[in-house]
Amino acid sequence: MAETILIVEDEQDLAATLEYRLHKEGFETVTAPSGTAAIEALDRRPPPDLVLLDLMLPDLSGVEVCRHLRRAPDTAHIPVIMVTARADEIDRVVGFEVGADDYVCKPYSVRELILRVKAQLRRGRPAPREGGSISLGRLRVDPDAHRVWVDDEERILTALEFKLLHTFIERRGRVQSRESLLDEVWGITADVTTRTVDTHVKRLRQKLGPAGSYLETLRGVGYRFADAAP
């Protein structure tokens, strides 16, 4: 069955373009021109599989819509891609405070947006496994044995580097703020700063060589694991 994308966008032309392109990619769409309409659409069952959420809406803001969605058990896990013209809002919308999974800045390329949509929908599925290991592009990871290969050549990681990589893989396609990585990898009580995260990501990237580019830096925001696919 086709996956349904809820497009929350008050610019009619842009909404129509998105509908057209998403239909061409085999998705179904529901369009909401305001925050109130978005909340009505989210309260219907079944809920959409993904939400493209404009931050600036005529009534409620995208932030309020996202909070509403995260509060309801049926919609809490739906991927949200926030669309914003304001780069200074990004760290807030993808952080703990609001909880969007990814973002694009206006003006954006529709092609890029569709790649993000597909990446978000993929993360709901288990990573492709071969025997006990996960294969993502040039990278192969055995989570039980804590072993990593790039192009079939083993790379030796520290326990912490492995945990960091595994966290990225589990949350692939999603923007990870430095603060959320600190909490998940180091633990909230650890006496380290966000600079530690940067140092470890840098080292991990070096160790992964050609697969290091899967760890994207998002300036002022954090990181995102984007494997070679699609």
Contacting positions for Ca ion (CB under 5 A): 10, 54, 56
CB of 103 to Ca ion, least distance (A): 14
User: What's the order of all strands across the beta sheet hosting 50-54?
Assistant: 28-32, 4-8, 50-54, 80-84, 102-105
What angle do helix axes 12-24 and 110-123 make, rounded to 10 degrees?
60
Q: Does the bond joining 33 to the residue before it have cis omega, within 30 degrees of 0? A: no
CB of 145 to Ca ion, least distance (A): 48
Burial 162-182 (b: 16+ CB within 10 A, else e): bbbbbbbbebbbbbbbbebbb
CB of 59 to Ca ion, least distance (A): 11
CB of 54 to Ca ion, least distance (A): 4
CB of 138 to Ca ion, least distance (A): 39
Closest residue (Cβ) to Ca ion? 56
CA atoms within 13 A on the CB side of 131: 7
| Range list of H helices, 27-158 | 35-43, 62-71, 90-93, 110-123
> What's the rounded Cα separation, in Å, for the pair 230 and 228?
6
Q: Which is nearer to Ca ion, 92 or 106 (CB)?
A: 106
Q: Which is nearer to Ca ion, 54 or 161 (CB)?
A: 54
Q: Which is nearer to Ca ion, 56 or 60 (CB)?
A: 56
Q: Which is nearer to Ca ion, 10 or 183 (CB)?
A: 10
Q: Which is nearer to Ca ion, 35 or 48 (CB)?
A: 35
